Structure 1
Amino acid sequence: MADAQKVKEVILAISEIIEEKKLYLTQLDAAIGDGDHGLNMAKGFGAAKEKLESTNPETPSDILKAVGMALISKVGGAAGPLYGTAFLNASKSVAGKTELDLNDYQVMLEAALDGVKIRGKATVGEKTMVDAIEPALEALKKAIAEGSSTREAMDKSVAAAEEGVNYTKTIIAQKGRASYLGERSIGHIDPGAMSSYVILKTIAEKF
């Protein structure tokens, strides 16, 4: 079970790992995009961290909402609205709850994915963050249905997200600046898929 304090710890851990990986994420983006994804994500999660430490929201939903708003206001390019929407949708899906379990996590991930797909008009196979998040959700659902433990379900979800990231290396980008490259985008990992994987992995490790 994860209460507000645990959710806050998870967000702070995400902020830390994104800061660590910002240059790597930016290098991935430089190959096929604007070259600012890692720096923008670090700025956004840095702002989210400051927000949580200065306002101390009381429920998991309030925390996720604060993160979503910080990402929308601070992350440039497409990533801000997409990640912001993901966190805002997740926030709404668990409104009123004081503790979150594995089933709540599935509901949150589903809501987040829906938000990303609607906002980004993206589906699996277009070389976007959806290619990491959707397999992660499907693997999580399957694991829960099979009665897996929380740890097993999280591990299976993260493994599916990693497979999704690797899959983006084999396909042509169909969204954003990367789509201009056509077949030249093959061989490159999508930075949004990678940052999604990093976030999902951190959640799994801390949940």
Structure 2
Amino acid sequence: MTEMNMCRTVSLFEYVAEEMISQEKYFCELDSGLGDGDHGVTISRGFRAAQQILQQPQETLEKLFQNVGSAMMSSMGGAIGPIYALLFQGFAQAVAGKEKIDLSAAADMFEKGASEVSIGADVQEGQKTMFDALAPAVRVLKQSAKEGKSLSEGFLAARKAAERGAEDTVDMMAKKGRARFLREKSIGHKDAGAASMAALFVSVSDFLVREEERSENRNEEN
């Protein structure tokens, strides 16, 4: 698959939402080690709100991401709500005027989203946050786009980078959020935000690989 139109993009994020909601218990278990154990509930709440937007007709890709971000902001609350709103705000800015998303556009989306998160949340790599999964995945997406890879190839590589980034948070001392008060005691726990961000990349990758396989099967049948 080289690009996605509005219909395919909506299908992608519907799949992402379902997958993120399905991992509510896992995210809560991770968060219980450093926070108050409700990260999964918050993530589920946000993606259920996103599902409502995805079921409604949208004029443009820009509007789609603006509306998803706003819905997540209003439904999630806490610190993570504004972060996901910033992420989707970045997506919207990156696709302004576009009708389709190829790997280059997707890389721009995540790069702009990451920039909005970094500035808006005052966060950077190495602080044991979701940014430790997001930033390396963005770098891989940008490189994959330069190399002319397909959407599925690019997100498969980004998925691996995000998962490695999330795993790396185990050895980090938290410097942001409530977990920073634990100081050295925060070492040895995977950050729930990084884990859920990695899960987002995993679900995007799974969807794209599945769609590519379906397309290949249809071509073989014809």
What TM bracket, shorter-length normalisation?
Answer: over 0.9
TM-score, normalising length from structure 1? 0.95
CA deviation profile, 1:78-110 (whole Å, cap 9, x unmatched):
110001110011111111211110000010000
* Alignment partners' CA distance in 1, 2:10 and 2:151: 19
Q: Which residue does 1:38 correspond to in 2? A: 40
How far apart in 1 are the matches of 2:157 and 2:196?
18
Match of 1:193 in 2: 194
d(CA) in 1 for partners of 2:54, 2:150: 30
Q: Distance in 2 between matches of 1:47 and 1:145?
A: 34
Q: Residues 1-207 of structure 1: matches in 2 within 5 Å?
A: 1-53=3-55, 55-207=56-208
| Rounded Cα–Cα distance in structure 1 between residues aligned with 2:77 and 2:38 | 8
Whether the aligned pair in 2 keeps the contact of 1:173 and 1:185 (CA below 8 Å) is yes
Tell me how far apart the structure 1 counterparts of residues 96 and 111 of structure 2 sit (CA, whole Å): 15
Amino acid at match of 2:168: Y
Amino acid at match of 2:187: I
Q: Are the equivalent residues in 1 in contact too, given 2:103–2:150 (CA < 8 A)?
A: no
1:151 deviates by 2.6
Which amino acid in structure 2 is aligned with residue 13 of structure 1? Y
**Does the CA-based 8 Å contact 1:60-1:91 persist in structure 2?**
yes
Give the AA of the match of 2:13: I
Runs (5+) with no aligned partner, structure 1:
none
- Paired residues, what number? 206
Q: Take 1:91 and 1:118, find their aligned partners in 2: how far apart are those partners?
A: 17
Q: Distance in 2 between matches of 1:48 and 1:180?
A: 32
Unaligned runs of 5+ in 2: 209-222
Contact 1:22/1:41, CA 8 A, preserved across alignment: yes
Q: Distance in 1 between matches of 2:60 and 2:6?
A: 5
Deviation at 1:142, TM superposition (A): 2.0
Q: Using the TM superposition, give the Cα deviation of residue 34 of structure 1 relative to its aligned residue in structure 2, in angstroms.
A: 2.2
- Name the % identity: 35
Residues 172, 186 of structure 1: 8 Å contact kept: yes
Identify the range of structure 1 (173-182 vs 151-160) with the bigger mean alpha-carbon deviation.
151-160
CA distance in 1, matches of 2:151, 2:74: 33
Structure label with greater radius of gyration: 2
Letter in 2 for 1:148: K
